[in-house]
Amino acid sequence: MKFRHELKYLINYGDAELIKQRLRTVLREDSHTIGGKYHIRSLYFDDYFNTAYYDKLDGADGRKKYRIRLYNLEDNFIRLECKIKSGAYISKLSAPVTRAETDKIFEGDYGFLLSSEHELCRQFYYECVSNVMRPKVYVDYEREPYIMELGDVRITFDSDVRGAYPCEGITGEGMVFGYVLDPGKLIMEVKFTEFLPEIVRQILPSRAMEQSAVSKYVLCCDAVSQMTSEAIN
């Protein structure tokens, strides 16, 4: 399991544009983007006690989150992932799942996971059966990524972050999403494995700027909870 450093910043669009202008001189755009960006949709899961949610709020060490993720709403490349946080480091386990398998999981049919060749799928099966792991929230956003091979650096800018209650399958377009960031704000994430090159470090926001432990998952859970409450009232 490979662990990486992760830094997060909640910044405004003006600062983001200045940072991106400087980044483009030393980092390259991710070749998988369309027009420099791609759309990410993640279906997050949590157990009966909302452990992932409260572990994040409490800053618990060793916390983990399960999700199913796809890009640009295309179902030919879907991944089951488990993100693990240990101290200042993160790691991500990943396994491929098909659209049909994703639909089964969404409908509560987990049996096929037990016979999967991927350990993560088998692990997820036990989480679903033993801990009542269920779909919790959709998290959507637009990502603009930059990468550098030296130090295995990846810097991303996530905008239009929004959440929805999981009432439809993974590619559903009829869900009602609520935006979760203040107007004019986005999330910048900096990930690196071995070291952060000094030339990149100098481009990043100073320590005086807001480095944040912001969680898209928590923000979207809160937004969906508020929307549900308002709909009831």
CATH of the domain at 114: 3.20.100.30
Q: Mean pLDDT in the chain?
A: 92
What SS3 class is residue 50? Answer: coil
CA distance 122 to 131: 14
Rounded to two decimals, the pTM is 0.94
What angle (nearest 5°) sits at the alpha carbon of residue 216, between those of residues 212 and 217?
Answer: 125
Partnered with residue 153 across adjacent β-strands are 148
pLDDT in tens, 160-192: 999 999 998 998 888 999 999 999 999 999 999
**Domain hosting residue 49, numbered range:** 4-232
pLDDT in tens, 220-233: 999 999 888 776 75
pLDDT at 23 over 60: yes
pLDDT at 208 over 70: no
| Closest to 156 in 3D by CA, of 189, 129, 180, 204 | 189
pLDDT at 31 over 70: yes
pLDDT in tens, 78-103: 999 999 998 778 999 999 999 999 99
Partnered with residue 105 across adjacent β-strands are none
User: Structural domain tally of the chain?
Assistant: 1
